[in-house]
């Protein structure tokens, strides 16, 4: 017969800090808590015997996961172990209430750029900022490698506990749809949330766009705290649906969108050139302007999102000038200098919409020709592969199809899935070897042309099979340019 206690009793035990809290049975020490979290591929309940064998003093699990041989451990039964884990993590790390505003940024594209911009804006305003996201997890004096866009629940609480000890003034976090669906941010209260956009991606996980939208919307409608500042892109149709559903919403638009009964920050592009952007913003009757070295309409939208949140968190119109010397994010339309007269960029774009955005932005700038190197990831949504090719063809003079993290799929089979979308391209080059593909683009380019190497951005590896092999688009370009 299992010995049962209530969650509140376990919270008090964890709050003492004398016992460990784990979701990995391999890390359990005698007396520790093991939380059996249901996963997408494995169920933590299957590892309860392993945790008991390591001497777990407490097990939190669903009732159906109770083992026949309960051992000497105390059990907490909870139908949503991930939610309970958030409560326990907040008790362990003292993060139930953070001493700084936490802003979550979600959307298909732009999350990394927006968090970097927010960090820069707040730093320029004299504040200490922290960031959790795809590239690194960092705050003043500390920078840690990032393995996921949004870390697991225990890691998140640990990071924000360390930021609190470092006395940061604000933290900005990329929040993926997977993380929202899996309650990885359980136990955290957000002071703000941003929706950058919503376009087709991750349907291999979510199944359809409505389920994907519902996962993103949770950050605004169900994740604490009440009254948080919600900044939403109303140029996006999903954003226009979401804004009226939130209590403290502020929309932003480059296209003069109106959402009945809602406040909207309006942006106007006064200039968009190879040298950057000049924007005018209007909110509640107040106007201001900024210039930015960032290129493209999609970055104009990112700049609006950041300014809307900055204003919502108390920064002034004058503070927005702090964005004017931000040069960009590693792997996000990152320029690779050379002496050949060729404009070369590396970008993380790996969805149809992201390619559409970055390529249309480059097309508007006025380069002689655009040469795009791209591929499609293996073990991911196959439906978007021809759509990515179509987006490339709409804006590209020369399309170079190659591999991009084929993982356990046959690279040649992935290329076959992509090819139907290339039928309208004027000039197509194909090589499954990514280095060869980039070399073909460089050989093709002439002075005044633009090369975009898309898909990997900041990544310095190529996943073939289940192994990561060192590979950097930036390094390859620099080598080829001599």
Domain layout of the chain by residue ranges: 3-92, 95-325, 334-481
Q: What is the pLDDT of residue 471?
A: 98
CATH for the stretch 334-481 = 3.90.190.20
What are 363's two structure tokens?
């097309």
Model confidence, pTM: 0.82
pLDDT in tens, 150-169: 889 999 999 999 999 999 99
Task: For residue 318, give Cα distances in angstroms to 121, 291, 321.
Answer: 11, 13, 6
CA 481 distance to own-chain centroid? 31
442 and 477 in contact (C-beta within 8 Å)?
yes
The pair of three-digit structure tokens given for residue 446, joined into one six-digit string: 């002439």
Q: Which CATH class is domain 3-92?
A: alpha beta
The full DSSP string for 407-429 is BTS-HHHHHHHHGGGGTT-SSEE
Q: What percent of the chain has pLDDT over 90?
A: 81
Q: How far is the C-alpha of 11 from the C-alpha of 128, rounded, in Å?
A: 31
* Distance (Å, whole) CA 435 – CA 44: 41
Both tokens of 391, joined, read 């987006």
pLDDT for 242 equals: 95
Contacts of 321 (CB under 8 A, 6+ apart): 290
Nearest Cα neighbor of 202 from 240, 176, 228 is 176
The conformation of residue 175, written as its DSSP 8-state character, comes to -
**Could you list the pLDDT tens digit for every one of the 482 residues in the chain?**
899 999 999 999 999 888 999 999 999 999 999 999 998 788 999 999 999 999 999 999 999 999 999 999 999 999 999 999 999 999 999 999 999 999 999 998 899 999 999 999 999 999 999 999 988 999 999 999 988 878 899 999 999 999 999 999 999 999 988 888 888 999 999 999 999 999 865 555 656 888 888 888 999 988 656 789 999 999 999 999 999 999 889 999 999 999 999 999 999 999 988 778 999 999 999 999 999 989 888 899 999 999 999 999 999 999 999 999 998 888 988 889 899 999 999 999 999 988 998 999 899 888 999 999 999 999 999 999 999 999 999 999 999 999 999 999 999 999 999 999 999 999 999 999 999 999 999 999 999 999 999 999 989 999 999 999 999 999 999 999 99
Residue 1: predicted pLDDT: 81
Q: Nearest-CA neighbor of 390 among 351, 343, 338?
A: 351
Burial 179-190 (b: 16+ CB within 10 A, else e): bbbbbbbbbbbb
Query: pLDDT at position 48, please?
Result: 97
For the domain bounded by 95-325, which CATH number is listed? 3.40.1190.10
CB neighbour list of residue 249: distance below 8 Å, 6 or more residues apart: 220, 230, 231, 232, 242, 243, 262, 263
**Beta-bridge partners for 172:** 103, 131
Per-residue confidence (pLDDT) for residue 223, from 0 to 100:
67
pLDDT at 209: 85
Per DSSP, what are the bridge partners of residue 400? 373, 429
Which residues, 6 or more positions from 333, have their beta carbon under 8 angstroms from its beta carbon?
294, 295, 296, 299, 345, 346, 347, 358, 361
> 362, 347, 351: which is closest to 458 by C-alpha?
347
Copy the structure tokens of residue 224: 């604490």
């Amino acid at each position: 017969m299992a010995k049962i206690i209530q969650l509140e009793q376990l919270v008090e035990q964890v709050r003492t800090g004398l016992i460990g809290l784990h979701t990995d049975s391999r890390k359990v020490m005698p007396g520790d808590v093991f939380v059996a979290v249901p996963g997408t591929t494995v169920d933590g309940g299957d590892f309860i015997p392993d945790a008991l064998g390591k001497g777990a003093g407490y097990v939190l699990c669903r009732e159906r996961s109770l083992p026949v041989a309960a051992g000497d451990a105390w059990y907490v039964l909870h139908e949503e172990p991930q939610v309970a884990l958030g409560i326990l993590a907040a008790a362990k790390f003292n993060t139930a209430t953070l001493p700084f505003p936490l802003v979550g940024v979600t959307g298909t594209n732009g999350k990394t750029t927006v968090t970097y911009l927010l960090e820069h804006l707040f730093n320029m305003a004299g504040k200490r900022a922290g960031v959790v996201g795809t590239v690194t997890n960092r705050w003043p004096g500390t920078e840690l490698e990032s393995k996921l866009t949004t870390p697991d629940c225990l890691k998140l609480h640990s990071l924000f506990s360390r930021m609190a000890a470092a006395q940061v003034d604000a933290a900005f976090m990329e929040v993926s749809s997977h993380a929202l669906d899996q309650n990885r941010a359980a136990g955290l209260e957000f002071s703000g949330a941003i929706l950058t956009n919503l376009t087709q991606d991750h349907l291999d996980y979510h199944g359809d766009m409505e389920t994907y939208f519902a996962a993103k919307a949770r950050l605004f409608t169900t994740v604490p705290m009440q009254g948080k500042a919600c900044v939403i892109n109303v140029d996006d149709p999903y954003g226009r649906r979401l804004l009226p559903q939130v209590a403290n919403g502020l929309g932003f638009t480059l296209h003069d969108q109106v959402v009945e009964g809602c406040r909207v920050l309006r942006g106007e592009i006064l200039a968009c050139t190879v040298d950057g952007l000049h924007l005018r913003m209007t909110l509640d009757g107040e106007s201001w302007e900024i210039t930015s070295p960032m290129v493209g309409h999609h970055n104009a939208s990112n700049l609006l999102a950041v300014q809307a949140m900055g204003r919502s968190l108390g920064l002034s119109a004058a503070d927005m000038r702090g964005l004017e010397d931000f040069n960009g994010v590693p792997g996000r339309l990152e320029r690779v200098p050379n002496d050949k007269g060729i404009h070369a960029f590396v970008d993380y774009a790996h969805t149809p919409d992201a390619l559409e955005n970055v390529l249309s932005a480059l097309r508007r700038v006025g380069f002689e020709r655009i040469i795009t190197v791209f591929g499609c990831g293996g073990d991911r949504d196959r439906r978007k592969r021809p759509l990515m090719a179509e987006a490339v063809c709409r804006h590209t003079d020369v399309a170079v199809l190659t591999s991009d993290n084929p993982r356990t799929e046959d690279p040649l089979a992935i290329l076959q899935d992509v090819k139907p979308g290339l039928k309208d391209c004027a000039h197509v080059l194909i090589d499954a070897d990514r280095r060869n593909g980039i070399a073909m683009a460089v050989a093709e380019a002439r002075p005044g042309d633009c090369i975009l190497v898309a898909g990997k951005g900041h990544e310095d590896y190529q996943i073939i099979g289940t192994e990561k092999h060192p590979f950097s688009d930036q390094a390859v370009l620099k080598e080829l340019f001599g």
